[in-house]
Amino acid sequence: MKTRIIVSAILLPIFFVILFIFPPIFLTFIVSAICAIAAYELLHATKIANKRVLVYTIIAALLTPMAVYLGNFGRYGNDGAMTAASIANLVLITLLISIFFIFMCLLLIELALTYKNKKAIEKGTVLKLRQIPIALAAGMLIPYMLSALIALKCMPYGHLFVLIPIVAAFMTDSGAYFIGVAFGKTKPFPTISPNKTVEGYIGGTIAGILGMLLYGIILSYTTPLTIVFPILIIYGILGAIVTELGDLTFSFIKRKCGIKDYGKLIPGHGGALDRFDSMTFCAPTIYLLTLILPAIII
């Protein structure tokens, strides 16, 4: 716990400097690096040992956030309205389809080649058909979901919008942990996540709602933005639900793979997937909510 707190105290100021001062491209580089590491961790956890597949997946994981950035660059005017949104959407869709098509072709070629390679068969590095969805998830799906942070950053007042999923995930995780430790008794998924309790989930949801309301109050007093608090409560509820779902999903994968952590990237926190598991679900959910049900109006 001490190591975890020290590392957080060092990394958080750096993150906030990048978030508040630098343009979205810097956040894009960070998300790309996180996605590349996460792709490696997932393939390593699921025992996909083919080196070329690993390279293809990491490259796809690096490029996907870049594509999202290019699709959102210059999308909003100074007044917060979308400008040339259709062109931006076309760019984004074209780039993502291109990455997916090339990535899929490379995987299928590798699938065909490795089954003819006797050395690969003997070493156990043959790519299997059932491993292709895992590679696609590691190379494109997870990076695309995390890239919602980039789309939020590209909005006017983007640094404030990026904080919404961060506050939701942090408050939910913290509330679930402390309430679970203090009052947790009922374990709904003991074989998947033995430390998670119903009481912890309830506490996490309440903490997520309170976190959103507190953030809304801070914004209402420090910015010219209009805050719609009833909708912000919806953000808190849905943000908490998907945060806990993300944590449970990646815990399930760890249990199936027989590992405790995905990696040792961050001392006290584990790997990239251990740290950003809940954000993978929370960020795209909040992004969609900002588009269809705005709680913060410019």
| Rounded percentage of the chain residues whose pLDDT exceeds 70 | 86
Query: Tell me, what's the pLDDT at 48?
Result: 86
Sole residue written with tokens 């074209």? 94
Give long-range contacts, CB 8 A cutoff, 24+ apart: 4-12.
4/267, 4/268, 4/269, 5/268, 6/268, 7/266, 7/267, 7/268, 7/269, 8/269, 11/266
> Taking the mean position of all CA atoms in its chain, how far away is CA 70?
19
On the question of pLDDT at 33 being above 70, the answer is: yes
d(CA 63, CA 96): 9
- Tell me 298's DSSP state: -
* pLDDT tens-place string over residues 177-192: 888 888 877 887 777 7
HSE value, Cβ hemisphere, 13 Å, CA-based, for 245: 11
Query: For residue 82, is pLDDT > 60?
Result: no
Residues 36-61: tens digit of each pLDDT: 999 999 999 998 878 889 999 999 99
What pLDDT is stored for residue 50 in this prediction?
82
Say if CB 253 and CB 137 are below 8 A apart: no
Give whichever of 125-129, 239-243, 261-265 has the largest mean pLDDT.
239-243
pLDDT attached to residue 91: 75
Give the pLDDT of residue 110. Answer: 83
pLDDT at position 267 is 64
Q: What is the dihedral of CA 51, 57, 58, 62, to 10 degrees?
A: 160
Residue 122 has pLDDT above 60, yes or no: no
| pLDDT digit string, tens, across residues 138-190 | 999 999 999 999 999 988 889 899 999 999 998 998 888 888 888 877 887 77
Question: Kind and range of the H or E element at 19?
Answer: helix 2-21
The C-alpha angle 31, 150, 243, rounded to 5 degrees, equals: 75
Note the pLDDT tens digit of each residue in 89-119: 777 788 888 898 999 998 888 887 776 665 6
Is the model's pLDDT at 124 over the cut of 80?
no
pLDDT for res 119: 62
- The closest of 68, 109, 63, 64 to 89, measured between CA atoms, is 68
DSSP 259: -
